[in-house]
Amino acid sequence: MVNEELLLQGYALLETIPPNYKYRQTFKELAKELRMAIALTYLERWDRAPRNSVSLIDRHGKILMTYAKVHTCDFSMEAACTPGDDFYVCTLDTDKGDVKIGGM
């Protein structure tokens, strides 16, 4: 599910997700149930305008990082997004060992 596409098509300006919304909780539970990491994209509710965000959920259901796209486009509906302010790296625990993951 790639929700930022809804914004790019003009459908989701009002459909933003607050930080602790049940939508994210559902995917946290699913990741834990399936013992699988999930990169969940969504429009994050933010002060000025929504952010094009992704949360990395580990196989234990924990959010390791939330990254908001820093370099948003100046054209189409993405111009309405608030850019993020940092790039993140975290360690994802897998059955085969740790993997470094970055949001950029």
In the chain the domains, ranked by start, together with CATH numbers, are: 4-103 (3.60.110.10)
* Count of Cβ atoms closer than 10 Å to residue 101 Cβ: 17
Average pLDDT over residues 71-88: 86
Measured distance CA(24)–CA(29) in Å, rounded = 9
Task: Give the pLDDT confidence score for residue 46 in this predicted structure.
Answer: 85
Q: What is the pLDDT confidence band of residue 95, given thresholds at 50, 70 and 90? A: very high
Strand partners, 82: none
Q: Which of 28-32, 45-49, 59-63 has the lowest mean pLDDT?
A: 45-49
Reading the block at residue 97, the tokens are 């060992």
Nearest one of 101, 81, 104, 79 to 91, comparing CA atoms: 101
